[in-house]
Structure 1
């Protein structure tokens, strides 16, 4: 493991810009600092977003990002259970909430703390980012925990359908691989391989520190420099060398069979990357199609009793994401009819566009969602985290203005570009009694 330097650089973080009340600074070692003061809050949130996720995992290392996330809670050079200073033992009695998640483009760690404990929180975070302790016994224990997660997801029918559709849509591209990795790779991941992966990707130039809540600007700058200024970046500049997905040139299909309900139909179109204006337009198309009683598909799909539930998601990713619609057919499960309704509704938007009332309702729905996503430091951090992962943190503060500016023409053009059969992958989750025998 890297040794932690004893003295931080004296260079203060340099101001870059301020957007939507969030100030961006850059430390001399390349670490980005984002600061959003919320003095009315009695807490402060610290979040580290490392721009590494399952997309960055080559063959043999699938699952490394998630396994490292687990190991980060086992401790570091200075803070670990062996010396009586485990992360949870130190922070939980102080009322600090600690958590982390791994996703396709990023891994993030966050601490919600009474503001007087922020100094200790950042001291611990800095140590485990710079001097992660990967003990052989701890590694085997966490490997077992991760394999249990594999078993849990393998037993979830909708997770199986989701995985099958993404694998079908992306083929060999890493977006088509499970974020948890493969069982074989997780079983085979050795300590040295994991350490090498951590060293390549856990660098200040590949990370963002966000401080949100009851922390004044000068204190934020001082704490960032004190705890992270000595973090060395030994790697090359953070160029993203993962090729984008190969173009899709025709409709793809997959069927997942299982013995028990539910049944489902999932449609996923290859969309734009998360920084595109088309990604904003697709975010509005979801609620127009299947977002409540005023949506186009509510009466023919839900009110008619053909399906018991439906949903949508426009995935904003660093590389081209998916625009997804799904519905659960009511028993006995008319998958073909449900699929045809979904496809016809999308084709009608490509052909005829959307109405002014529909556009206004969708904007109102999204405004409500955005208000919820700005309710406190944790909600803000989660959305900011995904914007960082998509490649531009300003996607978060500028989203309300961008959504407000969208026109019906923008939505129709985005649908015509992306929601076509040549970019579509279809998945059916089908109830089949013989699947129990096969399993």
Structure 2
């Protein structure tokens, strides 16, 4: 048989089938289990107006059945896998949709058969679609009931006026309600194909066994080919943007969101450490400054590792008797200090230790490894996972100062306020 190309990096074996499907294999001997994760490089970034939320809807429909695995045959996906004690789930994000099953290792071939069948022969019944639209709309409403999620969505919408990253991954209500089988099927056929997918097999299974199973189940599926779908470019931000979300009873929150580089850019590793220096725990710059002044009780940082440029977000929970503008000003001053003077080696060492520790402790077992690997695949290079610890170690204090000067600028800033609707001092005009 032909298995295409093969290479090895950091314990992973990488194979490429002739139809373009990538296989990553990593042996993990802690227990006699195997995890199969299938990552498709399609998410909300690939959706045009009218189809916003299509990738998330397809994720739901993929569990409704395919030609050979369907409840009408008495062998639905859950009927097959749950009796094995399997952990089965899926998620959708901006750049990818992934499906995973953690099973006793003897169940690996069954998982591969299921994934191969729904890769090329999804049922997508119209009646099931109508039922599932109600499920998704209920999930959509639950998300909007979370004040912090509403702030997050408002900030991304303001920061990305044209790019699809400005639309929630779940989509918008009017599009979800209007989904029809034919258009969803076209979205499925465009993106669900072997040359747009990566299979990871992680666990107590030999490379030859994993390769044989994947080849037998997937090699006959034809590649679709064609150029990747272009994403509408986001114009360069030329000035500060502001948004306020009023939600009765919500805590006061100030969020500063700066445009960040794409996930595979080395500057993003630096920016992630910079975020930890600023808002990574009680010894961080923002927490010490805001807490000492009685302005905020909590700070945090989040950086998006996406295929295209995203956001670095810095947040603070405003003390009830304080004003949002006071907190924002103190945050800006702390950031300007870093831009002007850089950071101390001690601060950098602390941020590196936290970042490395979080990476290593979150790689405990096949499922945890797969979750991190999945995000590296979505960002454009699975080897980002393998090299993450070394990249963190290579960052210098000079890098932090350079990156702060480049990215933490007012012209690339979106300011978000979450308020309870009664605080007049949250005005953004």
Q: 1:434 Cα shift? A: 10
Residue by residue, what CA displacement relative to the aligned partner does 1:129-168 show, whole Å, maximum 9, x if unpaired? 1111111111011100000011101111101100000000
Q: 1:231 Cα shift? A: 1.3
Q: 1:298 Cα shift? A: 2.1
After TM superposition, the structure 1 = structure 2 runs for residues 411-426 of structure 1, keeping only pairs within 5 Å, are 411-426=400-415
Q: Work out the CA distance in 1 between the residues paired with 2:417 and 2:401.
A: 27
2:147 aligns with one of 152, 157, 173: 157
**Within the alignment, does 1:263 sit opposite 2:271 as a pair?**
no
Q: Report if aligned partners of 1:258, 1:433 keep a CA contact under 8 Å in 2.
A: no
1:21 aligns with one of 11, 36, 57: 11
- Aligned partner of 1:330 in structure 2 is 319
Q: Work out the CA distance in 1 between the residues paired with 2:330 and 2:78.
A: 50
Q: Report if aligned partners of 1:244, 1:319 keep a CA contact under 8 Å in 2.
A: no
SS at match of 1:320: coil
Q: Report if aligned partners of 1:259, 1:434 keep a CA contact under 8 Å in 2.
A: no
Which portions of structure 1, spanning 4 or more consecutive aligned residues, are displaced by more than 4 angstroms?
A: none
Q: Work out the CA distance in 2 between the residues paired with 1:76 and 1:99.
A: 16
Q: Report if aligned partners of 1:126, 1:227 keep a CA contact under 8 Å in 2.
A: yes
Q: Report if aligned partners of 2:30, 2:365 keep a CA contact under 8 Å in 1.
A: no
Coordinate RMSD, CA, aligned: 1.4
Q: Work out the CA distance in 1 between the residues paired with 2:367 and 2:254.
A: 33
Q: Report if aligned partners of 1:200, 1:235 keep a CA contact under 8 Å in 2.
A: no
Q: Work out the CA distance in 2 between the residues paired with 1:372 and 1:189.
A: 41
1:74 aligns with one of 53, 64, 67: 64
After TM superposition, the structure 1 = structure 2 runs for residues 23-102 of structure 1, keeping only pairs within 5 Å, are 23-102=13-92
Q: Work out the CA distance in 1 between the residues paired with 2:423 and 2:383.
A: 50
**Within the alignment, does 1:215 sit opposite 2:216 as a pair?**
no
Q: 1:287 Cα shift? A: 1.4
Q: Work out the CA distance in 1 between the residues paired with 2:229 and 2:259.
A: 21
Q: 1:328 Cα shift? A: 1.0
Q: 1:110 Cα shift? A: 0.4
Which piece of structure 1 moves more, 284-293 or 248-257? 284-293
Residue by residue, what CA displacement relative to the aligned partner does 1:399-421 show, whole Å, maximum 9, x if unpaired? 11111011001111111111100
Q: Work out the CA distance in 2 between the residues paired with 1:334 and 1:93.
A: 55
Q: 1:300 Cα shift? A: 2.2
Q: Report if aligned partners of 1:263, 1:333 keep a CA contact under 8 Å in 2.
A: no
**Within the alignment, does 1:361 sit opposite 2:311 as a pair?**
no
Q: Report if aligned partners of 2:156, 2:166 keep a CA contact under 8 Å in 1.
A: yes
After TM superposition, the structure 1 = structure 2 runs for residues 270-419 of structure 1, keeping only pairs within 5 Å, are 270-302=259-291, 304-419=293-408
Q: 1:111 Cα shift? A: 0.5
Q: 1:87 Cα shift? A: 0.7
- Aligned partner of 2:170 in structure 1 is 180
Residue by residue, what CA displacement relative to the aligned partner does 1:85-121 show, whole Å, maximum 9, x if unpaired? 1111110010111000000000000001111111111
- Aligned partner of 1:3 in structure 2 is none
Q: Report if aligned partners of 1:251, 1:421 keep a CA contact under 8 Å in 2.
A: yes
Q: Work out the CA distance in 1 between the residues paired with 2:267 and 2:42.
A: 25
| Structure 1 gap segments, 5+ residues each | 1-9
Compute the TM-score of the two structures, normalised by the length of structure 1: 0.94
- Aligned partner of 1:5 in structure 2 is none
Q: Work out the CA distance in 2 between the residues paired with 1:284 and 1:260.
A: 33
SS at match of 2:387: helix
Q: Work out the CA distance in 1 between the residues paired with 2:384 and 2:29.
A: 24
Aligned pair count reads: 424
2:3 aligns with one of 12, 16, 25: 12
Compute the TM-score of the two structures, normalised by the length of structure 2: 0.96
Q: 1:244 Cα shift? A: 3.3
| Structure 2 gap segments, 5+ residues each | 425-429
Q: Work out the CA distance in 2 between the residues paired with 1:397 and 1:250.
A: 37
**Within the alignment, does 1:123 sit opposite 2:113 as a pair?**
yes
- Aligned partner of 1:432 in structure 2 is 421
Q: Report if aligned partners of 1:28, 1:229 keep a CA contact under 8 Å in 2.
A: yes
Q: Report if aligned partners of 1:244, 1:320 keep a CA contact under 8 Å in 2.
A: no
Q: Report if aligned partners of 2:45, 2:94 keep a CA contact under 8 Å in 1.
A: yes
